[in-house]
Structure 1
Amino acid sequence: MKRYSSFALYLSNYVALALIYLILTRSLAGSILTAITACISLFSFRVFDKENLSDFNQLIVRSFIALLFANVVNYVIARLIYLSFFGGVGRVRLAPLGVHTIVSTFAVSLLSYYLFKFLKKRVRPGNCAVIGRKDELDELLREIEQKSDEYRFVQFIESEEDLKKIRDDVTGVVVADYSMYESLRSRLSTMNNLEIVFLPHIAESVLKRIPLALVDRFKAYYETSFNRVVESAPKRILDAVFATLGLIVTSPVMLIIAILILLEDGRPVIYRQKRVGRDSKEFEFIKFRSLKQEGFDPSDPNRNIEQRVLKIGKFIRKYRLDELPQLWLVLKGTMSLVGPRPEMVEYHLQCANKIPYYLYRLKLKPGLTGWAQINYRHTTTLEEYRTKLEYDLYYVKNHSVWLDLNIVLRTFEAVIFKRGAR
């Protein structure tokens, strides 16, 4: 079974980016640093996601924004280096970075587009037999097939007789019903040529969420997994470092926003509200006030929102600058930089009573940004909250410092392209 890997894309683009900068400046050290920053930015702006690699126009737009952002960062880094070690900034020039941005945009787009097409042709999906009933699994398995180049589910096994008739082209067995698997385990152990994989592992790796129907089917496994969830010390360190830097860097911006809100609609500048955090504990949530006080209905906070938005509120909501005061909550330890979004008490009670496994999302501190926020839209209906929960559960179960850094990087893309939750 040949599987698609993005490593070749990253490596080839890194070489191309470094080579272009080396030709422009003849600086080996500069080309290495510039290419690293550029690749990180291309990743954060999802340039190498499969859906974007298939659309050349998307590649051009995303590559340009990502490389422009990366080279602005490179310019700042270069100025700091020369200022710190060479006593001046005269040797830092914008022209090579500008040319590098334009030339590299087309180079990255063309290279990524055609290399992806070539690699995609070489992918050979594996034919899998599924232990379970087709009528119970059809919808989930079809979604996995649509979003993956690796799996094709060609046969269903419900008994030992079905196992004896397994197709010759089947390379793996997917366990979707554990009790059925237990009854067939002894027979499967004699079939050494077949790879046995459990459905939760496939679903999570492909969908990047945990469908609630899957939790129903593997209750014991997920109950054990979620009961083991703890927040790690590295996560807290990451929170403290990023929150401190964020408060220092954005303090002038926050001062300007506060003054503009005060001039337009008076006090209070900060909006305070009870929200639900880790272990269902309530805390005071803060953000810049973006709505007029007039017309506010405490029983339905979302009523007439569009009519009540302040002029400055439209801007800060669009670019999520109203969330900046929450960096203080992250520094205090009430919130985390990354985690499930804290819900209003009213919505929390509705979801907790109507959506199974909802409380699992409260095993970690709520986040300023999160997996659900960057992968799913703003939620208003109960069904949308169910889907959002599936992304939250994926994060809670699989959280790590590397996943947090992934989410932080991709948050920039979500803000610029106006994706995800508001």
Structure 2
Amino acid sequence: MKRLVKIIDYIMLFTLNYIITENIIISLIFSLLIELGIYAFRNYDKEHMKNYNEQIIRTIVGTIIGFVIILLFYVFIPQHINRFIFIYNFTFAVIVFPLIHIIEYKIYIKRKSPINYLVIGREEEMGDILEEISKKTLNKKRFVEFINPSPTRLDKIVEERILNEDIRDKARNNKTQKYKKNVEPKIDRILVADPYLEELVKPKLKEYKSRGVQVEYLPNMVEKELKRIPIKVAEKFKEYYEVAFEQIEESPGKRILDILISTVSLIILSPFLLIISLIILLEDKLPIVFKQERMGINENPFLMHKFRSMKNEDKTKAKFASDEQHRILKIGKIMRPIRLDETLQFFDILRGAMSFVGPRPEQLKFVEEYNELIPFYYARHKLKPGLTGWAQIMYQYAATLEQSKEKLSYDLYYVKNRNSVLDIQIILKTVEAVVWKRGAM
């Protein structure tokens, strides 16, 4: 659904811009930049597409961000940038796009048939994760039965409720059929949620696959639908994830991008860095820069730099930032919400200690503690720490052990699935996270 909506939006934007500029290349670029701005503000997330007011707000802000990027090209193409570009695109996007997205959402809800799963696993172990998946897919994935299987029991369910042609034909002819409580619903696919139970019926599953039954695995499903790897899923499929994380390596291409981004950013930000330095000096004297050892790639500590946003105080004990609100400087109250205090980390990126995108660097004492308390915590250090990251834009600031486990699930997803496309998504959505003041940067 989301891919189709993006294509429709882009075609409409391109058509509008071509009418205005009569230049194919300029129209392609302008439309892409506006579309990126709208995408950055998560207009295409299913949970946002259902709310018309939220769609309007996100379209307005996203379109403005797209315009800001377009203005950066003014030096190169001034003749094609005028007030009509902004007025027509803004009016069109705000009026048309929210309406299209709501219509597409309603069509999806009405026409998309739900998929019913037979789960090989225990409901008390993974029921909450599967319920989260159901909500995320707008109840289009349903987990109708859990079994601790014996080959005989599994055979009975598959033969009667998956391979039975009468049930399948009846369901096909009535997609909106609602089953009564005392009537067993049809089952479309099998989901393996426990690798140990899978071993009990492995020959049977192989047979069912050969007969056309689709068998899916919980790790693939949670990564696809939730965009994170819950700790208990990683523990349940421990062998699979241990092998996956063992193969993680930094990309040489990512380092080139880091050098480019950090160099350009430091040049553009240099006047602001000077002004911030002077304000901190006047408000609370030296030092201007806060330095602290953080954990880097392969658990090699490095010295991280940021503007000091808190009053001078002896810091011998690792603390969560939420425990030190009373120390925030006046300039800190301005810098922290929009992450200006973090801009010095472009120096850390340039020298190779950090990357622009990656798990946030953690304090050494917390890493030592969490390595003991949280399974797979070590895996977040398979890549360089980042200025922004998947966990930072998807989850709140973690101030407790349970929150740290939840946040780690997003870091694990990034480490395992990191690629250039995901990095670009994170960079774009970081803009939304800063403007919306969400996540934990």
TM-score (norm 2): 0.88
In structure 2, how many angstroms separate the alpha carbons of the residues matched to 1:91 and 1:147? 42
For residue 49 of structure 1, report the CA deviation from its aligned partner.
0.6
Matched, 1:419 2:410: no
Kept in 2: contact 1:174–1:196 (CA 8 A): yes
In structure 1, how many angstroms separate the alpha carbons of the residues matched to 2:333 and 2:363? 21
1:102 paired residue among 91, 96, 117: 91
Residue in 1 that maps onto 2:131: 142
Matched, 1:351 2:342: no
Structure 1 residues 390 and 91, CA, compared in 2 at 3 Å: closer, same or farther? closer
Kept in 2: contact 1:145–1:151 (CA 8 A): yes
In structure 1, how many angstroms separate the alpha carbons of the residues matched to 2:255 and 2:286? 33
Kept in 2: contact 1:204–1:394 (CA 8 A): yes
Counterpart residue type for residue 182 of structure 1: E
Query: Which of 178-187 and 265-274 deviates more?
Result: 178-187
Q: How does 1:98-137 map to 2 (within 5 A)?
A: 98-137=87-126
How many residues matched? 410
Query: Which of 161-170 and 193-202 deviates more?
Result: 161-170
* TM-align CA RMSD: 1.8
Residue in 2 that maps onto 1:160: 151
Equivalent residue of 2:189, what SS?
strand
Equivalent residue of 2:353, what SS?
coil
Residue in 1 that maps onto 2:316: 298
For residue 15 of structure 1, report the CA deviation from its aligned partner.
2.1
2:222 paired residue among 203, 210, 225: 203
Equivalent residue of 1:216, what SS?
helix
Matched, 1:267 2:286: yes
Query: Which of 141-150 and 409-418 deviates more?
Result: 141-150
In structure 2, how many angstroms separate the alpha carbons of the residues matched to 1:390 and 1:27? 46
In structure 1, how many angstroms separate the alpha carbons of the residues matched to 2:197 and 2:4? 40
Residue in 2 that maps onto 1:189: 206
Structure 1 residues 245 and 382, CA, compared in 2 at 3 Å: closer, same or farther? same
Counterpart residue type for residue 380 of structure 1: A
Equivalent residue of 2:426, what SS?
helix
For residue 398 of structure 1, report the CA deviation from its aligned partner.
0.9
Residue in 2 that maps onto 1:239: 258
Deviations 1:374-415 (A, max 9, x none): 000001111111111111111111111211111111100000
- Unmatched 5+ residue regions in structure 1? 83-88
In structure 2, how many angstroms separate the alpha carbons of the residues matched to 1:95 and 1:260? 40
In structure 1, how many angstroms separate the alpha carbons of the residues matched to 2:323 and 2:425? 35
Residue in 2 that maps onto 1:86: none
For residue 204 of structure 1, report the CA deviation from its aligned partner.
1.1
Counterpart residue type for residue 225 of structure 2: V
In structure 2, how many angstroms separate the alpha carbons of the residues matched to 1:346 and 1:298? 11
Kept in 1: contact 2:37–2:64 (CA 8 A): no
In structure 2, how many angstroms separate the alpha carbons of the residues matched to 1:362 and 1:124? 41
Q: How does 1:352-391 map to 2 (within 5 A)?
A: 352-391=371-410
2:75 paired residue among 80, 103, 108: 80
Query: Which of 333-342 and 127-136 deviates more?
Result: 127-136
1:44 paired residue among 40, 47, 51: 40
Deviations 1:253-282 (A, max 9, x none): 211111221222221111101111112221
Equivalent residue of 2:72, what SS?
helix
Structure 1 residues 207 and 259, CA, compared in 2 at 3 Å: closer, same or farther? same
Q: How does 1:323-334 map to 2 (within 5 A)?
A: 323-334=342-353
Deviations 1:65-109 (A, max 9, x none): 1111112222331x2223xxxxxx466323431342233222111
Kept in 2: contact 1:341–1:367 (CA 8 A): yes
Equivalent residue of 1:349, what SS?
helix
In structure 2, how many angstroms separate the alpha carbons of the residues matched to 1:391 and 1:341? 11
Deviations 1:8-42 (A, max 9, x none): 11011112222333444444443322211111111
Kept in 1: contact 2:318–2:365 (CA 8 A): no
Query: Which of 99-108 and 391-400 deviates more?
Result: 99-108
Residue in 2 that maps onto 1:65: 61
Equivalent residue of 1:343, what SS?
coil
Kept in 1: contact 2:235–2:375 (CA 8 A): no
